[in-house]
Amino acid sequence: MNFINRHIGDHESDLALLSSQSSIADEGKWPVRYDAVEFVAICADIATILFAGFLSALLSPVNPAPAGLAQTCAYAAAASVSFVYILKGKGLYRPTELLVLRSQVRAICLTWILLHVLVAAVEMLDDNPQFFRGTGLLFAALGLASLITQRCVARILLIRCFSGRRFARTNLVLITDQPPSAYAGLSETLAVLGYRVKGRFGLPAMGSDPGSRKRLSSRVIEHIRNSEVDKIVLEANPERWADLRAFISDLRVLPFPIVFVPVGAASELLRHPTRSLGSTACVEIQPGPLTAIERASKRIVDIIGAGLALTVFAPLLAIAAVAIRLDSPGPILFKQQRCGFNGRVFSIRKFRTMHVLENGPVVVQATPFDPRITRVGRWLRRTSFDELPQLLNVLDGSMSLVGPRPHAVAHDGQFDKLVRKYAFRRRVRPGLTGWAQIHGCRGPTPTATTVERRVEYDLWYIDNWSLRLDLEILLRTPLEVLRGRNAC
């Protein structure tokens, strides 16, 4: 069953249901193989986006053809490449993923909106941003509607393919060292995906004499040369790789791809993605919390979001600065050492809300009626407006808009001893707001229980990160601020 698991991913139950509903008839095949579904879906997305761009250029009242047509088609081409690249990186073109319509629509909307928000932000710097106000808006609407419609149609077609066994036939020969009992049910599931086992051969026991291996390879070669075969599947335990390598060498005379499917304890290791370390191949046992593409997209959102927020709140920030200066002596901004990404220490910026400036080995957390808090500071803390200067930390890269909230270095060491997985939250940049904060985890952390609860939310955020989740947190943060839970 390992071979089929490599194809169906995490949706084995869905295909099992389709298998039970499938007909035994073998006619009505479509000219698409299961292995080619991903490529077809990518081509369909590119064609859909290009067509939406062409149609929006023709219908646009702002940018007349041919200049408008050329500009829109160039923009559509760039958008299609970016869109496909993002979805391909998330594995959303796999056939079993295409069946999950809700997940597909969510990913399409988020990616499409993100791409156009970035374009809109760039065009705001232009002296004459006519494209996005006219054709660009029309293209964004038509493209989103077309992609969602196309996904609905694709899902219907895929369900028909699975339930009616309409995938173009792919013939394979299975060579395995597994007992016959492990083959039960595999043939039926393979048939749903369009695979037909044209021959099954058992590998000799590990350490057998070379003569038995030679006899088996001769039988396989003779069988395949007299059959219509597209692929050879070799299913075996990697521990016997020395024997397998010699056997595969015997099969090199055949002009067909040979796919190795590991079984046994080593198969779990080989399920992890491979990387290269110079000329050495290696297996990535624990990936970073975010890929390079995800880090880049999150950073772009941080820069644009922080820049826009500083621009919008500039008048209020100026008023707060003046009020702090008039209310009590001391600096306007308060800087304190905080523990950030990978344990690196940085200086966080906040509006000063207290008469004291604690930034040493001992930092006393604020309480609801703390006498150290100034009159203006009490209002700033209640509305979390004192945190807005951290937008400067977001711009310089020491923080992100969304992430685990950083604690003072003095408290960080204490919490690390209280909560076993506390250090895991340093795997991403700390944030201005976070998943824990919108669930009411704000203010002081007087007990180990409050720290543990906050860490649980932070670790869930790290393990389930997505741009959609960041957007949700940013939208819910103002509502949480208005509720004022645990703020002091």
pLDDT tens for residues 372-389? Answer: 888 888 888 888 898 999
- Range with the lowest mean pLDDT among 126-130, 193-197, 406-410, 469-473? 126-130
In tens, the pLDDT along 157-207 reads 888 877 777 777 778 888 888 777 666 555 666 666 777 788 888 888 776
What is the pTM assigned to this prediction?
A: 0.53
Q: At 271, which CATH number?
A: 3.40.1360
Residue 84 lies in domain: 30-164
Angle at which helices 137-164 and 37-59 pack, to 10 degrees?
150
179: tokens are: 């007992």
8 Å CB contact between 450 and 422:
no
Instruction: Indicate if the pLDDT at residue 227 is higher than 80.
Output: no
321 and 462 assigned to the same domain: yes
Give the residue from 283, 316, 339 where a domain finishes.
Answer: 283
- pLDDT at site 425: 86
Residue 208 lies in a domain: yes
- Range with the lowest mean pLDDT among 355-359, 448-452, 454-458? 355-359
Q: What is the mean pLDDT of residues 141-147?
A: 92
Cα 69 to Cα 63: distance, rounded to the nearest angstrom? 8
199 and 330 assigned to the same domain: no
- pLDDT at site 320: 92
Q: What is the mean pLDDT of residues 133-158?
A: 87
Instruction: Indicate if the pLDDT at residue 349 is higher than 50.
Output: yes
Determine if residue 26 is left, alpha or beta; phi over 0 gives left, psi from -120 to 50 gives alpha, anything else beta.
alpha
Residue 240 lies in a domain: yes
- pLDDT at site 9: 44
- pLDDT at site 370: 75
220 and 258 assigned to the same domain: yes
The amino acid sitting at 297 is: S
Instruction: Indicate if the pLDDT at residue 134 is higher than 90.
Output: no
Give the chain's mean pLDDT.
Answer: 80
Q: What is the mean pLDDT of residues 135-143?
A: 84
Q: By percentage, how much of the chain surpasses pLDDT 90?
A: 21
Residue carrying structure tokens 């500039």: 314
258 and 136 assigned to the same domain: no
Cα 287 to Cα 88: distance, rounded to the nearest angstrom? 18
Cα 373 to Cα 366: distance, rounded to the nearest angstrom? 8
Give the residue from 258, 283, 308 where a domain finishes.
Answer: 283
More confident of the two residues 118 and 338: 338
244 and 309 assigned to the same domain: no
- pLDDT at site 324: 92
Residue 309: how many other CB atoms lie within 10 Å? 17
Instruction: Indicate if the pLDDT at residue 7 is higher than 60.
Output: no
50 and 139 assigned to the same domain: yes
Question: How are the residues of the chain apportioned to helix, strand and coil, as percentages rounded to the nearest 5?
Answer: 60, 10, 30
Strands (E), 57-162: none
In tens, the pLDDT along 60-69 reads 766 555 556 7
- pLDDT at site 61: 66
216 and 270 assigned to the same domain: yes
400: tokens are: 């992100």
Residue 325 lies in a domain: yes
Residue 14 lies in a domain: no
178 and 237 assigned to the same domain: yes
More confident of the two residues 30 and 398: 398
Strands (E), 380-437: 400-402, 431-433
Residue 10 lies in a domain: no
- Closest among 299, 268, 277, 408 to 348, alpha carbons compared: 408
Residue 354 lies in a domain: yes
- pLDDT at site 136: 75
pLDDT band per the 50, 70, 90 thresholds, residue 252: confident
- pLDDT at site 467: 86
- Closest among 430, 411, 331, 414 to 363, alpha carbons compared: 411
Q: What is the mean pLDDT of residues 255-275?
A: 79
Q: By percentage, how much of the chain surpasses pLDDT 70?
A: 82
- pLDDT at site 28: 53
- Range with the lowest mean pLDDT among 65-69, 318-322, 403-407, 467-471? 65-69
Residue 222 lies in a domain: yes
Strands (E), 323-456: 333-339, 345-351, 400-402, 431-433
- Closest among 160, 145, 45, 43 to 99, alpha carbons compared: 160
Instruction: Indicate if the pLDDT at residue 312 is higher than 50.
Output: yes
181 and 91 assigned to the same domain: no
- pLDDT at site 114: 83
pLDDT band per the 50, 70, 90 thresholds, residue 289: confident
Residue 22 lies in a domain: no
The tally of domains found in the chain comes to 3
323 and 236 assigned to the same domain: no
Give the residue from 245, 263, 283 where a domain finishes.
Answer: 283
219 and 153 assigned to the same domain: no
215 and 150 assigned to the same domain: no
Q: What is the mean pLDDT of residues 272-283?
A: 78
